[in-house]
Amino acid sequence: MKKTAFTTSETAWCPGCGNYSILETLTGVLNQMETPPHQVVLVGGIGQAAKANQYISANGFSGLHGRSLPAAVAIKIANDDLTVIVNTGDGDSYGEGGNHFLHNIRRNVDITHFVHDNQIYGLTKGQPSPTSDPCDLSHKINACNMGATFNPLLIAIAVGATFVARSFSGDKEHLAEIMQAAIKHPGYALVDILQPCVSFNKKNTFAYYKQRVKPLDPTYDATNKLAAMEKAMEFGDTIPIGILYQEQALTYKEKRPELFDAVPLIDKLVNLEDVQALIHRYI
């Protein structure tokens, strides 16, 4: 088989940003899987993480803030032969894109969703994101949640995601393994990737994560939904990483094959007389 050639270009990220290792790992995974670049579409919304599709040699789509999932789903339905991968941040996916996050999980379209989770809005200079840590009494955190912190993995499992995982940008071997499993999974796959924001998040640093992340025990049963929900709530002195939950379920294509088999409108013959008659009817 002909070797593929996914490459990366110069980025606008800060030195030390976790996005670098995420991008490098994803490029390596795609090359290892030997997926032709023309059959891969990288989709992003707005944010530093969402720029990833602009830095890798494959098809790319940059959408509106929080609107990457609808675009990715539409692309997959239009051409099921494509491998569709979404790269966005915690703000883009869980904040502005929260509604799309919930309901596209329920559809179980065969796309892969990588969330670069630095627990902050990095592009707009450090505002708290849905996954920012809660404020403590000393308020020493530069950006923190006055309300409850959003738990994306718990929410994803609860609303029916068929693949839910977490990894860490500082462990490229583990991240590559999880990325490959997510891409191969038939259905919607979420991977929440913990990464430091060296410029604006002074709490959740590389050292902070390194001291806390712990791979799941080899005996862990990723098919047990209740156990997965309990594991998803562990986020403190220990942060479990790995595939928390995975199941085989009908994909959206299997539920609605007529949508995937439909002839694109652009390829349909149009009777101009009928169109003109319709226009005149309503003017």
- Can you tell me whether residue 46 is helix, strand or coil? coil
Q: If you search the block for the tokens 């990464």, which residue do you land on?
A: 195
What is the model's pLDDT at position 3? 52
Q: Look at residue 34 and tell me if it is in a domain.
A: yes
Q: Look at residue 7 and tell me if it is in a domain.
A: no
Two tokens, residue 186: 């038939």
What is the model's pLDDT at position 268? 63
Q: What does residue 20 show for φ and ψ, rounded to 5 degrees?
A: -60, -50
DSSP-derived pairing of the beta strands 189-194 and 112-117? parallel
Query: pTM here?
Result: 0.87
User: Measured in whole angstroms, how far is the alpha carbon of residue 172 from the centre of its chain?
Assistant: 17
What is the model's pLDDT at position 211? 95
Nearest to 218, CA basis, from 202, 242, 254, 194: 242
CA distances from residue 14 to 106, 123, 129, 135 in whole angstroms, order as listed = 35, 11, 19, 26
Residue 227: which H helix or E strand, with range? helix 225-232
Q: If you search the block for the tokens 């404020």, which residue do you land on?
A: 135
Q: pLDDT truncated to tens, each residue of the chain (283 aa)?
A: 445 577 777 788 888 888 889 999 999 999 999 888 999 999 998 888 888 888 888 888 888 887 899 999 999 999 999 999 999 988 888 988 778 898 899 999 999 999 999 888 877 777 878 888 888 765 555 677 777 888 999 999 999 999 999 999 999 999 999 999 999 999 999 999 999 988 888 888 899 999 999 999 999 999 999 999 999 999 999 999 999 999 999 999 999 988 888 766 566 667 788 878 878 887 7
- Residue 60 is part of which domain span? 19-281
Amino acid found at 266: I
- Domain of residue 138, CATH code: 3.40.50.970
Kindly give, in sequence order, each residue whose CB lies less than 8 Å from that of residue 4, ignoring residues fewer than 6 positions away. Answer: 30, 31, 34, 35, 36, 37
* Helical axes 98-107 vs 68-78, angle rounded to 10°: 30
Q: Distance between CA 203 and CA 197 in Å, rounded? A: 9
What is the model's pLDDT at position 14? 86
Domain count, the chain: 1
Q: Distance between CA 206 and CA 197 in Å, rounded? A: 9
Q: Look at residue 210 and tell me if it is in a domain.
A: yes
Q: Look at residue 175 and tell me if it is in a domain.
A: yes
Q: Look at residue 268 and tell me if it is in a domain.
A: yes
Q: Look at residue 206 and tell me if it is in a domain.
A: yes
Nearest to 48, CA basis, from 90, 6, 107: 90
What is the model's pLDDT at position 96? 81
Q: Look at residue 190 and tell me if it is in a domain.
A: yes
What is the model's pLDDT at position 48? 81
Kindly give, in sequence order, each residue whose CB lies less than 8 Å from that of residue 85, ignoring residues fewer than 6 positions away. Answer: 26, 40, 41, 42, 43, 111, 112, 114, 183
What is the model's pLDDT at position 137? 62
Q: Look at residue 209 and tell me if it is in a domain.
A: yes
What is the model's pLDDT at position 271? 77
In DSSP notation, 91-105 reads IIIIIITHHHHHHHH
Q: Distance between CA 107 and CA 138 in Å, rounded? A: 43
